[in-house]
Amino acid sequence: MEQRPHLSPEMSAAADAALAAFARGEISAEIALMRLLLAFGDASAVMAHLEKAGRSELLQLARAHREGLSGVAALVAAGLTAERTGGIAAIRAQFDVAVRLAPEAAVALYSLGSAETLARTTAEIVEKLREWHLLGPEIAVLDIGCGIGRIERALAPHVARITGIDVSSAMIAEAKQRCRDIPNVDFAMCSGSNLEDIAADRFGLILAVDAFPYLVAAGDAIAARHVADAAALLDAGGVLAILNYSYRGDLDRDRADLAELAARHRYIVERNGTRDFALWDGATFLLRRNS
């Protein structure tokens, strides 16, 4: 008989919280499975727990994504899902390794390692950007923390051009390979400390999807510098769209921090930590450059 793993009080609390949030309709099934994987660190343990808890809908999804869940679990086991200490260099090393283990999961754990799931969540982001009137054939886009280029592939048909930047050379190499057939996309390495490397360019939209949490973890001053530099790179009336500012678990603090930065750098706050996505638990911050 298979022996179920012993759950620490912390693991049990995290699992209970994830299942309760899913039952209340606050998070998607994919996010619930991601949180269970982060709690247990093992795909088999997640499925055993779901079977015991009688959560057949989540168990069915887990079984359908068994291979992908193993990739996510490998990232957890390697310590590649925890916030890094040691600043930008540590973050760069983290993602250089993670993208080789599980590319889709490395940029979005909630994808469960599935290219199809990542495409659906990316399409949801694109649809929201369209709904907020941030896209158009005249818009140049900068994507901070581009990862494997999933945003670039999705946005390219809807904008004039898009530049993806990342601190990870392995991520950039993967993104270039995946987007090699798209003429209005380009990629560049960045320092992660600021946006000086592209200071000569201008954009109508600067986008950061799950990038600022790593900047905040590297230091509040680094995150603040990116907000300041973005203001200088934006056209008049352009928008800095931050989807998740931190992983601190304190949305009120994130809202206060961004409101203060917006006031300092002459942005108009159009969305301050709103929950707009069905498949993903991201919080939206839209800062428009005051013309």
The CATH classification number of 119-289 equals 3.40.50.150
Per-residue pLDDT, 76: 83
Tokens coding 45:
């343990």
Q: pLDDT tens across 71-101, in order?
A: 888 888 777 777 655 689 989 998 999 998 8
The label of the residue with tokens 């291979």 reads 67
Per-residue pLDDT, 83: 65
Give the single-character DSSP code of 206: E
One-letter amino acid at 187 equals: F
Per-residue pLDDT, 72: 84
Identify whether the C-beta of residue 149 lies closer than 8 Å to the C-beta of residue 170.
Answer: no
Is residue 273 classed as helix, strand or coil in its secondary structure?
strand
Per-residue pLDDT, 39: 87
Quickly count: other Cβ atoms within 10 Å of residue 123's Cβ.
12
Q: pLDDT tens across 201-235, in order?
A: 899 999 999 999 999 999 999 999 999 999 999 99
Per-residue pLDDT, 7: 64
- Residues in the chain, pLDDT under 50: 1-4
Per-residue pLDDT, 105: 87
> What are the domain boundaries of the chain?
9-116, 119-289
The phi-psi region of residue 219 (left if phi > 0; otherwise alpha if psi is between -120 and 50; otherwise beta) is left
